[in-house]
Structure 1
């Protein structure tokens, strides 16, 4: 499981002083990007090769509010993987308190917008991260 910390800033909140619901999607996006970076996957290089990742589906549950200045942690883990897509489970927590949970389906697409196979290095590294005993 990958962990990434994010602080709630004033700009992340709504008039009620709680995190605006769409900002959780930004938080988990950052968590995914940092996870790929930590796995040694260079998304800029992939884009130069004509491959990017696109979110195909998000199934989210908003469980508890986060507020200004909270220090949150985004947890990301691989649920399933196929040749052209992966499903991640992501959570946003404040300490031990689960605030938000989502299953995110990502697909690899080419410059033409058509599906492409996931890079072999990504498949290998994600599988190793999901099951460190097999690395």
Structure 2
């Protein structure tokens, strides 16, 4: 199972008037988690796209458990679901670093599109890289 953890400190601009993180920011942090997971195994989104592949989000889901607030350090835990054969699915947990309190759980599903915009299975270079780091 391929998994990676990265951290992020909540800035003032991430919060609403009540000092609570605005809900849509969690989806940005899911993207940050995916990007850093790929970077961790030696691949960037830019490199994936250079090979003619794009990974658009086809579904996103999150469950808000507890609020994050300004200046909290968050741990974004991203795990690739290896059971998905068509496309890709990433699972996320966002925790507050200071007490490991779970704040959000979620997932995103991604189609794999060729340069022509056709849905394809994850190509060999991507599957091999993932298998080598699982």
When normalised by structure 1's length, the TM-score is 0.86
Q: Is 1:114 the equivalent of 2:118?
A: yes
Structure 1 residue 113: Cα displacement: 2.6
| Per-residue Cα deviation, 1:86-117 (whole angstroms, up to 9, x for no partner) | 11111110031100010211121123332122
Counterpart for residue 133 of structure 1:
none
Structure 1, unaligned stretches of length 5 or more? 131-135
Counterpart for residue 76 of structure 1:
78
Counterpart for residue 92 of structure 1:
94
Within 2, Cα distance between the matches of 1:29 and 1:9?
17
Within 2, Cα distance between the matches of 1:64 and 1:129?
32
Q: Is 1:5 the equivalent of 2:7?
A: yes
Within 2, Cα distance between the matches of 1:57 and 1:116?
17
Counterpart for residue 52 of structure 2:
50
Q: 1:62 to 1:36 in 2, by over 3 A?
A: same
Across the two proteins, how many residue pairs are aligned to each other? 129
CA contact (8 A) 2:35 2:44 kept: no
Structure 2, unaligned stretches of length 5 or more? none
Within 2, Cα distance between the matches of 1:128 and 1:89?
19
| Per-residue Cα deviation, 1:55-77 (whole angstroms, up to 9, x for no partner) | 11112101100000000000011
When normalised by structure 2's length, the TM-score is 0.87
